[in-house]
Amino acid sequence: MTTLTLNSWSQYYSLTKPKVVYLIVFTAMVGMLLAAEGLPAPDIFVFGLLGIGLAAASGAAINHVVDEHIDRIMDRTRNRPLASGDLDQKSALIFALSIGVLGIAILMAFVNLLTAILTFFSLVGYALIYTMYLKRATPQNIVLGGAAGAAPPLLGWTAVTGSVGTEALLLFLIIFVWTPPHFWALAIRRREEYAKADIPMLPVTHGVDFTKIQILLYTILLFIVTMMPFIIQMSGLIYLSGAVALGIGFLYYAVRLYREEQPNIIAMKTFGYSIYYLTLLFAFLLVDHYARLFIRGWIL
């Protein structure tokens, strides 16, 4: 077992992929707030985000354990705690399982059983089905495995309501469709590393040109899907204007990437924009939701 020092705690923290977990917790929080007429109960809000966040961190840490040998090969990941030798597998696995069990237990004890069950299946979907099987088995890995990454806003919704509604499924669908163009842009840039690690990412198995077409098609589909909250009257004009502007921006990058013969630089710009895009899209959902509540209350 690794001796617990300030440095080792830092390594454990980095196991959780903090930037990814922050985005997961943010989208889960938006799901909670959208589900509430006003503000959710403070205990549900705190324990829900804590449980979902711990489960997400657990999945990220398990990913490090399973992919240790791959991480050593790839330049992007060779400095991760396990790949670099700063932590051992046993310590990392104990840590990952501990925070995962704690997260699910918190959801069961303080939130509701449905959220705990869905969070558990999301954790299994990412840490086991995607990481251990799909990632190595098919170039559609990120599409099929995207369901686990798309779950957080749905989990936030169920934490507040105790049920799965149409709006929650739509939030899920947005992230599900967003995931392939987001990740395939990175995969284009890192295609040689994935090939070296024998991971069948789409640019490796089908080539860059085919991947660029898929990114463009998924981005068009994403633009259409993000109009749905307005169409079903889940959101209003504030969200619509933001979704259109952000969608045009994403399409701009996707078209540039499609036309670029040397795509590495624009691929990383597309990847970076995709994170900015999703964060702001959900922020617009939130602002629109509370603006409509405020106007409704003011009119009444």
Residues 6+ away with beta carbon under 8 Å from 291: 236, 238
Provide the pLDDT for residue 134.
87
Which of 19, 14, 11, 66 is closest to 197 using CA atoms?
66
Q: What is the pLDDT of residues 55-85, one digit of tens each?
A: 999 999 999 898 888 888 887 788 888 888 7
- The Cα 194–Cα 198 span in angstroms is 6
Last residue within a domain, chosen from 163, 179, 211: 163
Rounding to the nearest 10 degrees, give the CA dihedral for residues 121, 122, 127, 132.
70
- The Cα 213–Cα 221 span in angstroms is 12
| Number of domain units in the chain | 2
Last residue within a domain, chosen from 113, 138, 163: 163
- Give the DSSP letter of residue 83: T
**Domain co-membership, 178 together with 144:** no
- Give the DSSP letter of residue 163: S
Which of 89, 72, 156 is closest to 118 using CA atoms?
156
**Domain co-membership, 173 together with 258:** yes
Structural domain boundaries, residue 152:
1-163
**Domain co-membership, 218 together with 260:** yes
Q: What is the pLDDT of residues 253-267, one digit of tens each?
A: 999 999 999 999 999
In this structure, what token pair is assigned to residue 154?
């749905």
**Domain co-membership, 142 together with 283:** no
pTM comes to 0.93
- The Cα 213–Cα 296 span in angstroms is 44
- The Cα 95–Cα 69 span in angstroms is 19
**Domain co-membership, 7 together with 154:** yes
**Domain co-membership, 82 together with 136:** yes
Neighbours of 293 (CB within 10 A): 13
Q: What is the CATH number of the domain that holds 29?
A: 1.10.357.140
**Domain co-membership, 24 together with 143:** yes
Q: What is the pLDDT of residues 1-51, one digit of tens each?
A: 444 555 577 888 888 888 899 999 999 999 999 999 889 999 999 999 999
- The Cα 131–Cα 62 span in angstroms is 9
- Give the DSSP letter of residue 41: -
Provide the pLDDT for residue 101.
97
**Domain co-membership, 114 together with 243:** no
**Domain co-membership, 14 together with 149:** yes
**Domain co-membership, 14 together with 158:** yes
**Domain co-membership, 218 together with 272:** yes
Helices (H), the chain: 6-15, 18-35, 42-66, 68-73, 89-110, 113-124, 135-137, 141-144, 146-150, 152-161, 166-189, 191-196, 202-205, 208-225, 228-231, 237-259, 264-299
- The Cα 91–Cα 196 span in angstroms is 28
**Domain co-membership, 155 together with 66:** yes
**151 pLDDT higher than 60:** yes
Last residue within a domain, chosen from 111, 130, 163: 163
